């Protein structure tokens, strides 16, 4: 029995669901506003508010707890030093959900999940740049990988004569049944002869 298990499964196994919620919370703390489906937003809200509670305590244990869900030291520092201090006087309700209506493609209920206390847009952009590791500085291109040359195979041209295909006679069901009847009659005749 599922007594006391209030977690929405979101159509995923545990590991996939946890990865999804981590990614949603990570995006929420970077951009302070995300658009997703309503059930995902409700579950991400639970985790995000839990993490903000720990960040408000501003203890080493709290930071470690946050790091368990969002394994990124830079983002943990941002959550504890920039986001959590805004909510010191607030006793919960750190996020809000706006319903947007159904998505055109599949009719899924969409929603916006955002933090109640927001930063300036410049600060959000600066935070995004700090977090994104994969982004290269402007003007730089990815180094090209050397292409591996495959040894060329020599093509041998051999003349292959194609044999004409034999046309097999196809028998209809009626013909097959008649053949089966004749075989049965022959077997009966043989049995009768053996008995005599």
Beta bridge mates, 33: 114
Helices (H) and strands (E) in the chain, counts: 6, 3
Helix, strand, or coil (residue 32):
coil
pLDDT band for 114, please (50, 70, 90 cuts): very high
Residue 171 predicted with pLDDT over 90 = no
Residue 89 predicted with pLDDT over 80 = yes
Residue 159 predicted with pLDDT over 70 = no
CATH superfamily to which 14-131 belongs: Ribosomal protein L17 (3.90.1030.10)
d(CA 64, CA 55): 10
pLDDT in tens, 122-139: 887 877 787 775 556 666
Residue 168 predicted with pLDDT over 80 = no
pLDDT in tens, 10-59: 999 999 999 999 999 999 999 999 999 999 999 999 999 999 999 999 89
CA torsion 175→178→183→185, rounded to 10°? -170
Q: Write down the pTM of the prediction.
A: 0.64
Q: Which of 63, 83, 81 is nearest to 72 (CA)?
A: 63
Residue 72, judged by CB atoms within 10 A of its CB (0-12, 13-18, 19+), counts as middle
* Non-local CB neighbours of 2 within 8 Å, separated by 6+ positions: none
d(CA 70, CA 73): 8
């Amino acid at each position: 029995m599922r007594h006391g298990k209030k977690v929405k499964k979101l159509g995923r196994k545990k590991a996939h669901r946890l990865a999804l919620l981590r990614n949603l919370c990570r995006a929420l703390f970077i951009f302070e506003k995300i658009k997703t489906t309503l059930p995902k937003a409700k579950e991400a809200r639970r985790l995000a508010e839990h993490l903000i509670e720990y960040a408000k305590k501003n203890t080493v244990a709290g930071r470690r707890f946050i790091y368990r869900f969002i394994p990124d030291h830079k983002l943990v520092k941002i959550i504890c030093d920039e986001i959590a201090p805004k909510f010191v006087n607030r006793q919960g309700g750190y996020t809000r959900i706006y319903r947007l209506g159904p998505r055109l493609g599949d009719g899924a209920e969409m929603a916006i999940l955002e933090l109640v206390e927001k930063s300036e847009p410049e600060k959000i952009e600066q935070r995004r740049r700090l977090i994104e590791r994969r982004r290269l500085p402007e003007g730089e291109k990815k180094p090209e990988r050397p292409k591996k040359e495959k040894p060329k195979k020599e093509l041998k041209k051999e003349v292959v004569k194609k044999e004409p295909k034999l046309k097999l006679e196809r028998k209809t069901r009626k013909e097959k049944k008649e053949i089966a009847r004749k075989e049965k009659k022959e077997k009966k005749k043989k049995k009768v002869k053996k008995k005599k």
